[in-house]
Amino acid sequence: MTPYCNGRPATVDDLAGALTNYGHFTSLQVRGGAVQGLDLHLQRLQQGTAELFGSALDPLQVRAWMHGALRVEDVVDASLRVTVFSRQFDFRRPLQPVAVDVLVAVAPPVDLPAISRRLRTVRYQRELPHVKHVGTFALFQHRREALQAGVDDALFVGDDGHISEGTTWNIAFASGGTLVWPQARALRGTHERLLQAGWGGDQQVRPVALADLAGFDAAIACNAAGIWPIARVDGVALGNSEALCANARRVLAGTPWQPLSS
C-alpha cells in the first residue's frame, strides 16, 4: 500500500500525525480510473470533516489527489482509502477549527466473491455510527470473535433489539419480493445507497427486530468491495439469499462509473 499525503508521497512525519486516533475515512474501488458512487464518497468526506474538525474540505482537490496518486502509481484499477486527519488537532482544544490533511493510500483492487456467509448477532452500537471514523478496533474484534465461534462475521443489534449493520458492511433482508433495509443508527454505505437508488422493485426502510428474522427468506451484505449472500443469522436459515445477491449484483452492474479525472 502506497500512501500520499496532500498530493505528495507521505513522509514519516505525515504518517506519525495520522496515528492519532481521531479522523475519518472512506474506502473505494477504482476500475479504469473511475468509481461507482464517487459523489457519495466525497460527500461522506466533506460531512465527516465538518463534524470532526469544524473545517471545510474541497472535494475537487481531494478528487485531484486521488487521481494523482493513481497516475504516479501508473494504475487505473486499485483500492483507495482516503483518510482525513489533522496534524494541527489538539485534544485539549477540540473545538478549535483546524486545517486538515488528506492521506490517500493506493492498494491492489479488491472484488469480494459472492460466497454465502453465516452471521451471529452481538449487542453493539458504534460510536458516532453515521461517521466512518477511524475507531475500528471493536469492529475487527467482533469479527475475530465471530470467526472463533465458528461463523463468518458479526451482525450488530442495539440495546432496543433492532438490527443495525455488520462489522464493515450494510445488510438488507427480503421477504417475497420486498427488500427491507434496517432503519437504525448505522453508517449508511455507498453501495447501500446505490442499490436503493437502482433497485426498481418494492423496498422499505423500517426497523428490523431480532424477532423479525424468521419472517425473511433472504439477506445480502454490501460494502464498496462487493455484495454477498447471507446464508444464516444465528439459527435462522435464509435459503433464497443467493438469488437475491445475483439480482443485487445485476443492479450494481448497471450503476455508472464516475471518472476521477476532471
Domains detected in the chain? 2-107 (3.30.470.10), 117-253 (3.20.10.10)
The cell numbers describing 42, all together, are 466525497
Q: How far is CA 48 from CA 9, 51, 109, 131, 154, in A?
A: 24, 5, 25, 6, 25
Average pLDDT score over residue span 115-130:
97
pLDDT of the residue at 18: 79
Average pLDDT score over residue span 233-251:
97
Lowest mean pLDDT among 36-45, 92-101, 165-174, 215-224: 92-101
pLDDT of the residue at 52: 96
| Residue of 96, 81, 121 whose CA lies nearest to 1 | 81
pLDDT at 58 over 90: yes
Alpha-carbon gap, residue 53 to 97, rounded angstroms:
6
Gyration radius of the chain's alpha carbons: 19
pLDDT at 120 over 80: yes
pLDDT at 82 over 90: yes
pLDDT of the residue at 177: 86
pLDDT of the residue at 170: 98
20 — pLDDT class (breaks 50, 70, 90): confident
pLDDT at 59 over 90: yes
pLDDT of the residue at 14: 85
Interior/surface letters 210-246, b for 16+ CB within 10 angstroms, e for the rest: eebbeebbbbbbbbbbbbbbbbbbeebebeebbebbe
Average pLDDT score over residue span 145-162:
97
Q: Which residue has better confidence, 77 or 97?
A: 77
pLDDT of the residue at 169: 98
pLDDT at 80 over 90: yes
Contact present, 45 and 57 (Cβ < 8 Å): yes
pLDDT at 229 over 80: yes
248 — pLDDT class (breaks 50, 70, 90): very high
